[in-house]
Amino acid sequence: MASFQSFANPARFQAFASKLMPWLAIPAALCIGIGLVLALFVSPPDYQQGETVRIMYIHVPAAWLSLFCYTAMAAASAWGFIAKHPLADVAAKETAPIGAVFTALALLTGSLWGKPMWGAWWVWDARLTSELVLFFLYLGYMAVWGAIDEPGRAARAAGILAIAGFVNVPIIHFSVQWWHTQHAAASVFRMDGPTIYLSMLWPLGLMALGFTLLYGVLLIIRMQTEILLRRARSLRLRAAAGEPASA
């Protein structure tokens, strides 16, 4: 706990983040690069879906990250309320655009996958609809931040939305079991083990890991940028008030 609190110092966080970056960026590039090669050129076509199944290698990791990012955003918001950690709100704020992009990618690739499978670009399936709601939650969260100038008040208002909206995450996850929707059931994380071939599981796992590491890279970049912007804003306010800038 004490070591985590030490990162409340922005300079200390910036130094740590700079050291951590290559340990995330290089594995992310390797996982995504190798995963794409295996997905496009090594893994076999599906006996029912044919070559269309290759959309899975983007769609599934993007859908996973859409839930992972929202969970991280809600957890960071809750930590901001509980511990008053100054970087918790920054992490939550900067996770939102990343999560929104992954959610949009999941919806887009899901639509491309659904057309040949279901004969329609979109159906009001429980999984698809709740994923669309998740996208709107991301947009709403970002809109709250954009509507309130003072970071503290914006963080509190947006944090309440993030925490309340988290109820949608388990709904998305369990929607297939609860409502027996058209969406395919889980084939990787199952009590009786994965139901897809290893030749498909390996590239899918690499892509999921690569996307997760990519989230870490993008989050660090965005957090570092936000810290610098807040520092610049603080200096402008001090200058406008006639106060000397601190070192």
Torsion of CA 100, 64, 118, 167, to 10 degrees: -70
How confident is the model over 220-234, as pLDDT tens digits? 999 999 998 888 877
Rounded to whole angstroms, how far apart are CA atoms 82 and 76?
Answer: 10
Q: Give the per-residue pLDDT at 36.
A: 95
Helix (H, G, I), strand (E, B) or coil at 47: coil
pLDDT for position 85:
84
How confident is the model at residue 207, as a pLDDT?
96
Whole-angstrom distance, CA of residue 135 vs CA of residue 130: 9
Mean pLDDT of the 181-193 span: 54
- DSSP secondary structure code for residue 42 in this structure: I
Instruction: Calculate the average pLDDT of the chain.
Output: 86
State how far the alpha carbon of 188 is from the alpha carbons of 54, 82, 204, 213, in Å. Answer: 16, 35, 10, 20
Rg over CA atoms, the chain: 20
Half-sphere exposure of 101 (CA within 13 A, CB side): 9
**What is the number of other CB atoms lying within 10 angstroms of the CB of residue 174?**
13
pTM above 0.95, yes or no: no
Distance CA 89, CA 219 (A): 12
Q: Check residue 245 and give its pLDDT.
A: 54
In the structure, what pLDDT confidence band is assigned to residue 38 with cuts at 50, 70 and 90? very high
**C-alpha to C-alpha distance for 70 and 78, rounded to whole angstroms:** 12
Domain boundaries, the chain: 15-229
For a pLDDT cut of 70, what percent of the chain falls above it? 87
- For the domain spanning 15-229, the CATH number is 1.20.120
The rounded distance, in Å, linking the Cα atoms of 119 and 115 is 5
Instruction: Encode pLDDT of 139-175 as tens digits.
Output: 999 999 999 988 889 999 999 999 999 999 999 988 7
DSSP code per residue over 55-85: GHHHHHHHHHHHHHHHHHHHHHHHHHHHH--
Q: Report the greatest alpha carbon distance in the chain.
A: 72
Query: Per the structure block, which two tokens stand in for 84?
Result: 């008053």
